[in-house]
Amino acid sequence: MTLRTRLLVLVSALVVLAGIGTASVLRASARADRRDHAVPGGPEITAGPVALGARGRMIFRNMAWGPHRDELTSVPASDPAGPRTASKVKCLRFHAAGGTGVCLQSVHGPVGDTYRAVLLDSRLRVTARYDVPGIPSRARVSPSGRYAAWTAFVGGDSYAGTDFSTRAAVVDTRTGRLIPSLEAFRVVKDGRTYHAADVNFWGVTFTADDRTFYATLATHGSTYLVRGDLRARTLTTVHPNVECPSLSPDGTRVAYKKRVKGLPKDAPWHLYVLDLRTLRETPVAEPRSVDDQAVWRDDHTLVYALPGDYGADLYTAPADGTGHPRRISTAAVSPAYVGRPPA
Amino acid sequence: MYVADSRAGTRAASAEGAARPRAGRRRAAVAPTVLALGTVSLITDVSSEMVTAVLPLYLVAGLGLSPLGFGLLDGVYNGFSALVRLVGGHLADRGGGRHKWVAGFGYALSAACKPLLLLAHSLTPIGLVLAADRTGKGLRTAPRDALISLSSTPATRGRAFGVHRAMDTAGALLGPLVAFLILRATVDGYDAVFTVSFCVAVVGVLVLVLFVPADTRAGTGPRSARPAEATRPTEFAEPAGSAGPARSTPAGAADRSRPAEEAPRSGSAAGSAPSPAGQNPADPAGSPASPTLRAALSLLGTPAVRRITLCALLLGLATVSDAFVFLLLQRRLGVPDRWFALLPLGTAAAFLLLAVPLGRLADRIGSRRLFLAGHGALLLVYALLLSAWHGSALPYLVLLLHGGFYAATDGVLMAAASESVPEELRSSGLALVQTGQALARFVCSLGFGAAWTAWGDRTALTVSAALLVFGVLVSVALRPTPPEGLA
C-alpha cells in the first residue's frame, strides 16, 4: 500500500466516522425536543404548586419525558400512578420531611458539571446552597426537618479510574452548620476506637430525636451499619453487611440492602429489614437486586426504585417479608412521603 | 473518602510525545514509528478517558445505579490486567510482526467495547464490557512499548518514550473535555459520548494498522537495514519490500488467534540477529531462538534483567499511590472538596510538560540515572508533605515534582529495561518489569493503608520515605559495572 493509498483510506474513514459521530451528537441533542414531548400513555403531568407540607402526598423526581422531566413532582400518596403536579425544581436526588427538602442538583459549567445541595422550604424556595464534591447519590432529611444529609461519589475523573469513594455530609438547617464529611467523627468498632485510611460513609438516615442517625460504614471491603451521634460526634458499629439503611417511622427497624453471597458481584444486593432491638434480619419478598436507599411509606411498607424504561420505576413491598413486590409508579425516583402526621 | 488505588501501574503505562513529524529535520529526531504509536495512544486515550470521565455520572444520573458496586470490582480487573499484560508480551514476542498485531488486537478489542456500552444497562454487563476493555489495554501495552523500544536506538530511546508518554497524557487530558462538551451539547447524551468514543477509537486502530510498520526489527525486510533502524523512516515513508504494513487486519487478527504457528520461523530469524550496537553487553545474545514462555521467564535469570526488575520492585514498594499523595496534600492544605479533583490534573499536566525534556535528559545522562533521580523527586514530594513549610507554592511544587517523578520514571523505566532485554524477548521483558512494578505498587498501597491505620498518615509517609531512600541506595549499589550515559 502506498502512502497515498493509506492516507486515502484514513481520510475516507475519518469522513465516515466523523459523520457517525456528528450524527450521534445531533441525534442526542435533537432528543431535547423529543424528550420535551410526553410519550403517549405516560403519566399525565401539569405544572402547579408543590408543597412539602401538603397532607398525604408523595413527592419525587419525575423522569417521564415531557416538559417536566427531572422536576420535583407531587402525586397523592394513595394514588401514586395518578396525575402528577410538577414544580419546575429539577433534582437528581431528593428527600423531604418536616417541611424541609434537600435537593441534589447538577450545575452545568463550561467544561463539566459540578454539583450542589440546596435546602428547600415547604414551598420549595431555596434557603441554602452547599457545594457537593462529586456525583450526588443519597439524600435524607430528619423527621423534624432540622437536619439534612447527602452522599456524593468522589472520583471518576480521568485519574481515579473506576475507583470511587463516598463522602457523606450533614447540615443543621437551623444554624447552617455543615459537617462536610462524617470522617471527622470518631468511629467505635467492636467497643474500640477505630482508625483506617479507607473508611467511607454513605446513606445517612435520621431518627426522630435530632441527634441520632444511622449510616453505612465501609472499610477493608466490609460494610457495617453504624449509629451516629451528632452531639458526641461518634459513630458506633451496630451490625455487619448493611448498606443504605432506612429507618422506619417508628424507629424500631432499618430497611437496607445487603450483599448476598452467590449473587452476581455487580448486582449483589437484596432488601432486608433489621430489627434494631433483636438484630434479627428479615428478607423482603423482592427477588431482584435493589440498589437504592428504600423509604418507608408507613411502618409496614417499603418503597424503592429499580431500573426502568425511563431511568427508574418505583416499587413497593411489605416490610415483614410477606407478599409480593408491586410497581406503583413508572419513570420516578427519590420518593418522599410528606405531610405525614407526627409519629 | 480514600480511593483504593491499584491503578497506578496501569495508568502510568500510557503517555507519549508531542513532537511533530517535521521534527525530522533534526538528526536524532524520534522515529516515525514512535510518532505513529504516540498518535495511536493519544487518540485511544481521548476515546477511553471520555468513557471513564462520564461513567459514574452515567451510572448514577443516567441509570439510577450506584457505582460503588462497580468500584469494588476494580481491584480484580487491575490484577487481571497485569496478567493479561504478560500474555500480550509473550504473544507479541513470537515474531513475524506480531507486536503490531497483538497491540492492534488490544486496541481493536477496546474499541469494540465502546458500542457495547450502549446496550448495557445494568452493572453486570457494564462490568463485563469494561473488563474486556481492560483486557485490550493489558494486551496492547507491552507490545506497544516494545515497538517503541525497537524502533529507537539506545541513544534516543529516552526521548522516544518521553514523546510517546507526553502524547498519551495529552489524550488523557483531552478525553474528559471532549466528553463534557458532548454532554453539554446534548440531553443525556451518554449514547453520543459512547458513539463518538467508538469512532475515535476506530481512528486510533486505523492509524496503527496503516502507519505502524509490522516489524520494526526489519525481520521481514533486508537484514542490512537493521543497524540503521532507529533513524530509518519506517513510518510515513513507503516501506519498500516490506510485507508487514501491507497485511490486512483480518490476517493479523487471524495471526493472533494462532499464536503458535509462526513462532519457529520468525523466532529463529529474530534470534539469530545480532543486537544493535549499544545494547547492554549483559544481553544474553545467545538466548534461544524460539521465544517460549520458558525463555520469557528465564529472562529473570539474566543478571541485568534481574537487576532492573529488582530496582523497579524495590522502588515500587516505596511509591505511595497517587490517591494517598493527593489525600495527604489535601489534608495539609485543607484544599476545598471541589478542587480535589484538580490535583490529579496538576500531576498529569506536569507529566505532559516534562516527559519529553526528561526523556531527552535520560538519553544524555543515562536512563537508569534519571530513573533514580525521578525517585529523588518523589522523595522531595514526601519531604514537602512531611515538612512544616506551608507556603502558597506548596501544592504547585508538590504536583510539579510528582508529575516530574512520573516523567522521569514511567517511560524511562521502559527505556532502561530495553537495554537489558534482548530484542526477541523485548515485549515479554518489558511486560515483566511493568507487572513487577505494578504489583509492588499495589502491595505498597495495601501496606500504606495499613500503616496509616496503625500509626497515622505522617508516620506511614515517613516509613515510605525511609523505604524509598533504601530502595534508591540499593539501586545505586546494583548499578551495572560498565558506566552508562550513552550520549
What pLDDT digit, counting tens, does each position of B304-355 carry?
A: 888 889 999 999 999 988 878 887 887 777 666 666 767 888 899 999 999 9
Cα gap A331→A333, rounded to integer Å: 7
- B174, closest residue in chain A (CA to CA): A158
Q: Show residues of chain A in contact with B40, CB under 8 Å.
A: none
Confidence of residue B295 (pLDDT cuts 50, 70, 90): confident
A4 to chain B: closest CA residue: B238
Q: Closest Cα of chain A to B177: distance in Å?
A: 6
Q: How far is CA B108 from the centre of its chain?
A: 17
pTM over 0.80: no
Nearest to A1 among B199, B203, B246 (CB): B246
Q: In whole angstroms, what is the distance from residue B304 CA to residue B479 CA?
A: 9
Other C-beta atoms closer than 10 Å to the C-beta of B300 total 13
Q: How many Å apart are CA B173 and CA B158, to the nearest integer?
A: 22
CB neighbour list of residue A52: distance below 8 Å, 6 or more residues apart: A59, A96, A99, A100, A101, A120, A121, A122, A123, A124, A338, A339
Instruction: Check if the beta carbon of residue B437 is closer than 8 Å to that of residue B312.
Output: yes
pLDDT digits (tens, 9 = 90+) for B421-461: 888 889 999 999 988 888 888 888 778 878 887 788 889 99
What band does B25 get if pLDDT is binned at 50, 70 and 90?
A: very low
**Closest partner CB to B124 (pick from A135, A160, A267):** A267
**Residue A279 amino acid letter:** L
Residues on chain A touching B173 (C-beta within 8 angstroms)? 158
What is the rounded distance in angstroms from the CA atom of residue A75 to the CA atom of residue A311? 19
Q: How far does B286 lie from chain A, in Å, by closest CA?
A: 36
Instruction: Give the three cell numbers for residue B236.
Output: 510515513
CA distance B135 to chain A (A): 15
Q: How far is A341 from chain B (nearest CA, A)?
A: 30
Are the Cβ atoms of A136 and B341 closer than 8 angstroms? no
Q: CA of A239, closest CA in chain B: separation in Å?
A: 20
Between chains, do A153 and B337 touch, taking CB under 8 Å as contact?
no
Closest C-alpha to B295, from B306, B284, B287, B305: B287
Amino acid at A255: A
Q: Report the relative pairing of strands A71-76 and A57-62 from DSSP bridges.
A: antiparallel
What pLDDT was estimated at residue A327? 96
Question: Who among A29, A113, A200 is closest to B186 (CB)?
Answer: A29
pLDDT per position as a tens digit, A60-90? 999 998 889 899 999 999 999 999 999 999 9
Nearest to B177 among A17, A111, A333 (CB): A111
Distance from CA of A256 to the nearest CA of B (A): 14
Question: What is the chain A residue with the closest CA to B67?
Answer: A164
Residue contact A163–B347, C-beta within 8 A? no
A65 interaction partners in chain B (CB closer than 8 Å): none
- Name chain A contacts of B327, Cβ cutoff 8 Å: 197
- pLDDT per position as a tens digit, A201-228: 999 999 999 999 999 998 877 899 999 9
